[in-house]
Structure 1
Amino acid sequence: MAALSSGGEVPVAFQDPDYLAAVVDLLGVISYGEISAFERLAEDAKLAPTLEDKVELATMASLELGKVQALHERVRELGADPFGAMSPFRAAIDQFHAHTAPSDWLEGLVKAFVGDGLANDFYREIAAYLDPATRDLVVASLEEGHSAFIVGRVRAAIEADPRSGGRLALWGRRLMGEALTQAQRVAAERDALTALLAGGVDRPGLDLAAIARMFTRLTERHAARMAELGLDS
């Protein structure tokens, strides 16, 4: 594989084959995550209580799918096949969604907000160790534009039925546990992603203390999202 800039020069980072493989892996897992989010939101739309809610979720689903093209274009620029890049992550992501299938409309909303938010936070943390062009692409693909809708619907539901708050809080904690397990499984199975966090000749890396701080930040952001929904973390 070869990664070329618009001027035809190979950036220093991409002269490292391990870094190149890691970037392809990262773009692959994010791409398949977006496709899975599209499928899940489209399915959740069937549970929507109103037509307005159905359209809102369908719009969210289309936005997720729309992010995939730019990611795939970047993978091709790097000399790889985007579908081959996604393939290694299909089983782990599908398993996560199988283990966290929502039982109703509200659980689906919490999953879209909390579960996807946690994954996006993790990828943003990794993006800090990428070359600028790839980092900007990854960050752009993780933009969340539906938080106000979800927060409003969940808070209104809890106000109408306060008992639902406890159930949804437990659901949010389960989502975090499953998401962290999935992230660890993916990293363990893909040596290139693990090596990415170790740094390179032109990039800083993470030591054990830095990794611990990263997971602390992920936990704190999860708690903030739960609080935004009106739930205990």
Structure 2
Amino acid sequence: MSDSPAGAGGGTGVVDLLGVLAYAELTAFLRLAEDAATLAPSLTDRAALSGLAAVEYAHFRLLRDRLASLGADPEKAMAPFVEALDDWHAQTRPGDWLEALVKAYVGTGIAGDFYREAARHVDADTRELVDEVLAEEVRSEFVVDRVRTALAGSPQVAGRLALWARRMVGEALSQGNRLALARPELALLLVSESAGAGEGDADLIGIGRLFARLTEEHGKRMAALGLVPGP
């Protein structure tokens, strides 16, 4: 790989990355607001989840403004990803409050991991913005507290939530593959690795390392929720 990061500046890969992330943040805002209104068991929980939704919308605005500053039309940049992300949300609609929390942490988390991986190979300014909008400390603290409290009161719920979390991951991986096939410049960011191997070998190495990192991060989230044993 050359010294210049893949997709640096306003290239197609960067616009794709910012576009998919912008639409992901917009839909996260909409879904969290809906879950807060329809599934939250108390006003305190409704307010807390609404606060997380507001953060997602602020992130969307940052990404929208960044796209505009690169000379890209934000709506056109998001458009290729609308169908896939809308399908993912339709297929993973939570049935209750705890499922909504697990989706917000595990499902959104593994999707965010994909975007972080892609951002490893772009310019520093884009990478910094992606890291900012994908920061999950506040969401993590809120979800982990609520889920662990629920599990302490009803341990039998763990099995159901673990199955739900696995579904989140399966659906996220499926949609990630769909996006990669449709947007090769974005896919290239996910598998870019150092030179030293043939192109095909480098792709296989990159994919192997990518999935190893995704699996590790998913395991950490599951352990944090108490749905698998910790390390």
- TM-fit CA distance, 1:195: 3.1
* Residues in 1 aligned to 2:224 and 2:74: alpha-carbon distance in whole angstroms: 36
* Residues in 1 aligned to 2:7 and 2:67: alpha-carbon distance in whole angstroms: 16
* Residues in 1 aligned to 2:7 and 2:150: alpha-carbon distance in whole angstroms: 53
From 19, 23, 39, the counterpart of 2:30: 39
* Residues in 2 aligned to 1:172 and 1:154: alpha-carbon distance in whole angstroms: 12
From 19, 28, 33, the counterpart of 1:28: 19
Partner-residue secondary structure (3-state), 2:11: helix
Match of 1:5 in 2: none
Structure 1's unaligned 5+ residue stretches are 1-11
TM-score, scaled to structure 2: 0.88
Match of 2:127 in 1: 135
Match of 1:220 in 2: 216
1:160 matches 2:153: yes
What is the identity, as a one-letter code, of the residue corresponding to 2:221? R
- TM-fit CA distance, 1:88: 0.6
* Residues in 2 aligned to 1:72 and 1:225: alpha-carbon distance in whole angstroms: 29
- TM-fit CA distance, 1:232: 2.7
Give the number of aligned pairs: 219
* Residues in 2 aligned to 1:223 and 1:137: alpha-carbon distance in whole angstroms: 25
Query: CA, structure 1 residues 99+81, in 2 after alignment: closer, same or farther (shift >3 Å)?
Result: same
Work out the percentage of aligned pairs sharing the same amino acid: 51
- TM-fit CA distance, 1:213: 1.2
1:229 matches 2:220: no
* Residues in 1 aligned to 2:191 and 2:100: alpha-carbon distance in whole angstroms: 35
Partner-residue secondary structure (3-state), 2:160: helix
1:110 matches 2:102: yes
What is the identity, as a one-letter code, of the residue corresponding to 1:69? R
What is the identity, as a one-letter code, of the residue corresponding to 1:31? A
Is the contact between residue 68 and residue 74 of structure 2 (CA under 8 Å) also seen in structure 1?
Answer: yes
- TM-fit CA distance, 1:14: 8.8
* Residues in 1 aligned to 2:119 and 2:104: alpha-carbon distance in whole angstroms: 21
Match of 2:196 in 1: none
* Residues in 2 aligned to 1:157 and 1:173: alpha-carbon distance in whole angstroms: 19
Query: CA, structure 1 residues 160+86, in 2 after alignment: closer, same or farther (shift >3 Å)?
Result: same
